[in-house]
Amino acid sequence: MAYDLYLEDRINHYLESKGIPFVAKKMMGGLCYMVDDKMCVGIMKDQLMVRIGEEAFTINQHRLGCQKMDFTGRVLKGYALISPDGFDDEANFSDWINLCLDYNPRAKSSKKRNK
């Protein structure tokens, strides 16, 4: 299993319950949720990958389980990885997802690759 299937179900249910249109794509050995054609939230093994922007990261970096996203040897600014203890309860889980959704309209789209 490349990523946590229970976490996948939680994210799917949350986004669907809020009426948020999304596309889930397998990438980077995990699962990425695209909202408005922009990377919004994802799963890497058992961790929640959140795209919240640099300002929100600075404010929330002290929270339980939050760490800089650095899986390639280079920190991705505005992204964080949250370990399971940081999103196990519903209040923290929904807070992290809402931070992603709040940032999404300001996030830049990735450049489309030519095939």
Q: Domain range holding 101? A: 5-106
In a domain, 111, yes or no: no
Q: How far is CA 73 from CA 26, 43, 70, 85, 97, in A?
A: 21, 19, 6, 24, 25
Q: Whole-model pTM? A: 0.92
Q: Are 43 and 8 in contact (CB under 8 A)?
A: yes
In a domain, 81, yes or no: yes
Q: Which two tokens stand for residue 16?
A: 């669907």
- Give the count of domains, the chain: 1
Domain CATH for 48: 3.90.1150.30
Best CA proximity match to 5, nearest among 35, 45, 36? 45
Output DSSP code: residue 72. S
User: What is the residue-level pLDDT of the chain in tens, covering all 115 positions?
Assistant: 589 999 999 999 999 999 999 999 998 789 999 999 999 999 999 999 999 999 999 999 999 999 999 877 889 999 999 999 999 999 999 999 999 999 999 998 876 656 5
